Amino acid sequence: MNRKELKEFLDAKVEQYNTPDFIPHDPIQIPHLFSGKKDIEIASFLVATIAWGNRKSIINNSTKLMELMDHSPADFIKNHEENDLERFEGFVHRTFNSGDCKTFMRSLQHIDKTYGGLEDAFAKAYTEKSNLQEAISKFKTIFFEVDHLYRTQKHVSDPMKNSSAKRINMFLRWMVRKDNAGVDFGIWESIPMSALSLPLDVHTGNIARKLKILKRKQNDAKAVAELDSVLRKFDPIDPIKYDFALFGLGAFKEL
């Protein structure tokens, strides 16, 4: 396929997969349980944080997290006291344990009190850096302003250390992308869709290589930048819609 044919092919796949039918099969179903902006963004951030491994396990543990927060994530973050965090004892998702979870609760409360919430914290980082991948690195610094164990830092990726930052890029897609199909929320106004980067994982990376729009073998920050440069030519306004095409092609083994 030439570039024009490839774009037409991927556009058709976006139409095929970027539909409400996507929601029940994806961890994004958890934040879709909420209607309030702060509930959606906090639920989304926590769900994205543990979105690796078995999909059923991700959804089950995300549901458990919401239960532990009394199904009111924004209220819990704003008003919890230290002894309320004891309920997270025993929570674990792969290497994300109860200690990490408690740190995330404390940090989200700190961000709410100090910056006004996740959007304002990311907006501050983005305004300072004007490149979203650099802004993620800045956000990580903000996130760990609270006392924390060093081990917990691995649960917030840093593109400036060549991480693909798949989970944070996915979270940002959920928050920023204006989606006529109603999958992504598009509730943040402070970051443009054009600045988003692909949430690169094994599936999307393999498909991108098969389609010859990615040459780099590792799924790292350099691969994200390489893919971004192609996808932004296909659609400068909404380049990350192609995440649905690449993911769908991989998940349903169409290529």
**Residue 14 is encoded by which pair of tokens?**
């976006």
Q: Which whole number is the average pLDDT over 31-41?
A: 98
pLDDT band at 27 (very low <50, low <70, confident <90, very high): very high
Domain tally, the chain: 1
Residue with tokens 């305004």: 127
Residue 1 has pLDDT above 90, yes or no: no
pLDDT band at 130 (very low <50, low <70, confident <90, very high): confident
**Residue 191 is encoded by which pair of tokens?**
């970051």
Question: For residues 141 and 174, what is the distance between their CA atoms, to the nearest angstrom?
Answer: 22
Task: List pLDDT tens digits, range 206-244.
Answer: 999 999 999 999 999 999 999 999 999 999 999 999 999
- Cβ-contact 6, 26 below 8 angstroms: no
Amino acid at 70: D
Residue 116 has pLDDT above 80, yes or no: yes
**Residue 243 is encoded by which pair of tokens?**
């995440």
- What is the residue-averaged pLDDT of the chain? 96
pLDDT for position 64: 98
Residue 125 has pLDDT above 80, yes or no: yes
Question: For residues 234 and 8, what is the distance between their CA atoms, to the nearest angstrom?
Answer: 9
Domain assignment of residue 7, given as a range: 3-251
pTM of the full predicted structure? 0.96
Question: For residues 214 and 226, what is the distance between their CA atoms, to the nearest angstrom?
Answer: 7
**What does each C-alpha distance from 11 to 18, 33, 60, 116, 151 come to in angstroms?**
10, 29, 32, 37, 41
> Which among 233, 229, 49 is positioned nearest to 155, based on CA atoms?
49
Q: Which whole number is the average pLDDT over 106-113?
A: 98
Q: Which whole number is the average pLDDT over 150-179?
A: 97
| Residues 6 or more apart in contact with residue 95 via CB below 8 angstroms | 154, 155
One DSSP character per residue, 32-95 reads GG--SHHHHHHHHHHHHHT--S-HHHHHHHHHHHHHHTTT-HHHHHHH--GGGGGGGTT--BTT
**Residue 8 is encoded by which pair of tokens?**
């037409």
Rounded to 10 deg, the angle between the 242-251 and 202-210 helix axes is 90
